[in-house]
Amino acid sequence: MPEIKNYTLNFGPQHPAAHGVLRLVLEMDGEVIERADPHIGLLHRGTEKLAESKPYNQSIGYMDRLDYVSMMCNEHGYVLAIEKLLGIEAPERAQYIRVMFDEITRILNHLMWIGAHGLDVGAMAMFLYAFREREDLMDAYEAVSGARLHATYYRPGGVYRDLPDSMPKYEVTRWREKSEVKRLNTVREGSLLDFLQDFTERFPKCVDEYETLLTDNRIWKQRTVDIGIVSPERAMQMGFTGPMLRGSGVEWDLRRKQPYEVYDQLDFKIPVGTNGDSYDRYLVRVEEMRQSNHIISQCIQWLKDNPGPVMLEDYKIAPPPRMNMKADMESLIHHFKLFTEGFCLPEGEVYTAIEHPKGEFGCLLISDGANKPYRLKIRAPGFAHLSGLNEMVKGHMLSDVVAVIGTQDIVFGEIDR
């Protein structure tokens, strides 16, 4: 009889559940995983190195492309690092706008996660339900920045511009009738804030809908309960953050522990899990969506009541109003200098971290006093999670690898950078 050996299975990078370009080399004993070896680097674009050759303000757009499902949060981490080194702070209204869009981004990310996780486990409907709501939030992105994905909306010293008074609207096409367009546009008649308010009112019902499909579903529970258990100690040792850590029962949220912007003035709760399995992480993320929704509604209220500047009036950092440039030579020079040379940061080293939807997103910025960073190091939460993959899937079956990849909420833009 021939000797029975383990075999290796090449999982990805061309695989429907690889979440982009994950390549796993699985050592398998039948259907059981003995060892999972993640190979990274297939989406490496050299973001950190690229940032070293550009003025600070020109790298913001690269941050969107790191974790491409939670764009503005990446920008936030980077912009905050610059602001910290400069010693400036954005106006309060800008801070509220940032917090609001951070939470919108969190919902965007978690919707993407619930859809992709559902699809990995085979629940097809989740993906489309989640994308239905994502579409509305994408419209909010579009309304403030003109772009649905890569917004480049946060700038050092505030945000690019104030919230718009009108929303982009649907138009009649061959495939979209007048009555349907009218229905779609009813919530888009007012300002962006009106639109978002309407969204926050309907979103909890949508989350209920997702939960009816999954939370008590026997198959879903069989596929997630006790899969990929991480103990709280081990989660901390491996550098897990965000829902991956909170799912294990550690109440660690930078929005609470190291409040930045206006998080200390807002009311929200931090959900934590108990068992540290995939199902707990699922529950944590679903609750986070509800909490984010709550934060957004608080921000909307504040923003409606408190108009004001959204950008510092320091023309060395923020561009002057376009109207001034037409007549005022100094403004024109400021504008020219800002968009060619940028601005210089004082010599020094700074680390900022924000509570990104996936965990702690950190930026280490080292400046030698020039107009571009000497070194920019990005701490991507997904990187630490992926390195824990082997431990999480060992002894599970092939199908569980997919479920674990789903629960880790991996996006390769940030891992490979």
Which spans of this chain sit near other proteins (rule: CB under 8 A)? 7, 9, 15-17, 31, 118-125, 128-129, 132, 175, 213-214, 217, 219-220, 222-223, 397-402
Find how far residue 381's CA is from the centre of its chain: 11
What is the nearest approach in angstroms of other proteins to the Cβ of residue 242? 23
Q: At which residue do the structure tokens 């917004």 appear?
A: 151
For residue 236, CA distances in Å to 16, 248, 249 come to 30, 9, 11
What is the nearest approach in angstroms of other proteins to the Cβ of residue 133? 11
Q: What angle do CA 413, 99, 262 make, to 5 degrees?
A: 135
Measured between alpha carbons, how far is 359 from 28 in angstroms, rounded to an integer? 30
In this structure, which amino acid lies at residue 179?
S
Q: Can you read off the two tokens belonging to residue 134?
A: 């994502």
Query: Closest CB to other proteins among 129 and 195?
Result: 129
Measured between alpha carbons, how far is 21 from 31 in angstroms, rounded to an integer? 23
Query: Closest CB to other proteins among 296 and 393?
Result: 393
Strand partners, 375: 366
What is the nearest approach in angstroms of other proteins to the Cβ of residue 189? 23
Query: Closest CB to other proteins among 205 and 326?
Result: 205
Measured between alpha carbons, how far is 399 from 383 in angstroms, rounded to an integer? 22
Q: Can you read off the two tokens belonging to residue 96?
A: 């509220």
Query: Closest CB to other proteins among 138 and 332?
Result: 138
Contact indicator for 143, 168 with CB cutoff of 8 Å: yes
Helical ranges in 19-91 per DSSP H: 47-51, 60-64, 71-86
What is the nearest approach in angstroms of other proteins to the Cβ of residue 187? 16
In this structure, which amino acid lies at residue 357?
P
Query: Closest CB to other proteins among 125 and 344?
Result: 125
Query: Closest CB to other proteins among 15 and 161?
Result: 15
Query: Closest CB to other proteins among 213 and 332?
Result: 213
What is the nearest approach in angstroms of other proteins to the Cβ of residue 117? 10
What is the nearest approach in angstroms of other proteins to the Cβ of residue 215? 12
Query: Closest CB to other proteins among 98 and 223?
Result: 223
What is the nearest approach in angstroms of other proteins to the Cβ of residue 28? 9
* DSSP-assigned letter for residue 345: P
What is the nearest approach in angstroms of other proteins to the Cβ of residue 118? 7
Contact indicator for 398, 26 with CB cutoff of 8 Å: yes
Q: At which residue do the structure tokens 């921000």 appear?
A: 299
The residues, any chain, with a CB within 8 Å of residue 79's CB and separated by 6 or more, are 60, 154, 155, 156
